[in-house]
A and B are shown apart, each in its own frame.
Chain A
């Protein structure tokens, strides 16, 4: 074994941290930002492409906070705020607008690009604000089908997307804050549109999926956090909606056994699910159906004798 390396030291070198500082100091919400004091906070920095957020500018315009600034600043601010929205054609009416995105599928590259989903009586447009770009656009009359699709993310979260297909054969997958509402609005705008039934999507075969509480060990004592649990052939994954990635990943080799124990918990009628693990000791969970989870986890546990070859956390478990 080599010597463990010394502790890493954080850096404050502006050459390294500059982008982060710009983000933290210009971005509203990260630093103290209080009503009365912000007489001119968030003022547009003219010509600054890195302005992290002009959020709050509309509010300022609304409250006349920019009144004392010169006309050109004010005009710029109004233009910028206005530019965030879709420009409507003559006679066009905005039906609904929500945040969402468009899945770019170009060759092997796929990636979600966030933007505002605008539905007018004529068009469906996904518009990115900054830099401004139309990510997707189709005439409402040019749409052939719409279909709700539910996908489960790696973290086990379920997200409903909207798949649209046009008469000329294009398809696109859109995300939207209210996919059902968008689906209904589209269907009523274009009666010729075929609304396909939701695409089937099941729980992982032989697995279990649902709301699960995880007792996260914290410096100040364990903290119950709610999230989504998913148990499948690759093990148990738990993710909080507040985190970007799962907070708990147990590959099958990591799980030695599971049992139900009485205890105080946010769910499961005073019953806890205690999972014995190879390298983290006991992991405590709570679920609406603790026995079901405990049984399924116990069934996932590696048979006696294989635990010695457990993968260290973070390496993918062998999938047969």
Chain B
């Protein structure tokens, strides 16, 4: 048994009861809690060989879904988790087994881990992605319409030139629209959420311009307020497309040191 490793899904506060009961992880492995009572913490783990999970795209996608499902299940039971990234294993060391190494590590970092868990209690992560459809964004631009009309009557060479001009005009109008919507939405979301972070988009479409792609840390009770803001945005800007994901465990808000997000320190 000494060569067994622990695959770690998440850290959580140690409390009575077993939130891991019946929860399965990667490839249906049963999960358990490794408690570090002295630290007031527990780790959600499965036991396995000290080898990373490797495989093709489809396999990894399936594992990611399984890992997410396990963390979500425990998060919904406990209200606070610090999720780990994929393939975090604690291997046995030369002088101690994996369990002992993990317990020691939890003990050493108990204070900051517990503090972060308290801050994240009852908070969910939401993902918001807003884009504008380039064509719809400039549908009512008078200059664009005038150019389009002019193109009908011109020679092919001139048409190419005008097409280039139209492209530039569309881009400019889209960018300006996107900036305006971003400022408006960001202001309204910032008043509701506890933290907001720009993220890179995962799904891209060349016909769309990116407006806002952010991870939001939101008290559970405010999820509907965010939904109301987004519905309103959609109502007032038909060219906007909204992706609204979550609620998730606070995947993007796990870092342990408050850097730029403290009051007065941002920007």
Listed in ascending order, the chain A residues whose CB lies under 8 Å from chain B are: 4-12, 14, 16-28, 30-34, 36-51, 68-69, 108, 154-155, 213, 216-221, 223-227, 234, 237, 240-249, 251, 266, 280, 312-316
- Determine the main DSSP class of A at the interface with B: loop
A43 contacts B54, C-beta separation under 8 Å: yes
Query: A47 contacts which chain B residues (CB < 8 A)?
Result: 54-57
Q: How far is the CB of B229 from chain A (nearest CB, A)?
A: 8
Residue of B nearest to A17 (CB): B245
Verify B57–A50 contact, CB threshold 8 A: yes
Complex interface: chain B residues within 8 A of A43 (CB): 52, 54, 87
In the complex, chain A residues whose CB is within 8 Å of the CB of B202: 19-20, 22-23
The CA-CA distance from A237 to B182 in the complex, in Å, is: 11
Chain A residues, Cβ within 8 Å of B82? 32
Complex Cα gap A225–B183 (Å) = 14
- B56 lies within 8 A of A48 (CB): yes
Residues 116 to 151 of chain B near chain A (Cβ within 8 Å): 126-127, 141
B53-82 interface (Cβ within 8 A of A): 53-57, 60-61, 64-65, 67-68, 72, 82
Give the docked Cα–Cα distance between A18 and B66 (Å): 11
Question: A97 CB to closest chain B CB, in angstroms?
Answer: 23
CA A25 – CA B72 in complex, angstroms? 13
Closest to B82 in A: A32
Which B residue's beta carbon lies closest to that of A107? B164
Which listed residue (A21, A40, A220, A314) contacts B64, Cβ 8 A? A21
Measured CA separation A206–B235 after assembly (Å): 36
Which chain A residues lie closer than 8 Å to B225 at the CB level? 7
B41 at the interface (CB under 8 A from A): no
Kindly state the separation between the CA atoms of A40 and B256 in the bound complex, as whole angstroms.
Answer: 21
**Chain B nearest CB: distance from A73 CB in Å?**
8
Given contacts A20-B245, A22-B64, contact A315 B180 (CB under 8 A): yes
**In the complex the two chains form, is B264's CB within 8 Å of A224's CB?**
yes
Q: Which of A18, A34, A251 has the most CB of B within 10 A?
A: A34
**Min CB distance, B262 to chain A, in Å?**
9
| Contact among B65, B164, B198, B260 with A21 in the assembled complex (CB-CB below 8 Å) | B65
Query: Do B183 and A249 have beta carbons less than 8 Å apart?
Result: yes
Query: When chains A and B are docked, how far (Å) is the Cα of A45 from the Cα of B225?
Result: 40
Closest A residue, CB atoms, query B233: A314
Is A24 in contact with B252, judged by CB distance below 8 angstroms? yes
Whether A11 lies near B244 (C-beta < 8 A) is yes
Known contacts being A41-B88, A244-B198, is A219 close to B192, with CB within 8 Å? Answer: yes
| Nearest CB of chain B from residue A252's CB, rounded to whole Å | 13
What residues of chain A lie closer than 8 Å to B267, measured between beta carbons?
Answer: 213, 224-227, 240-242
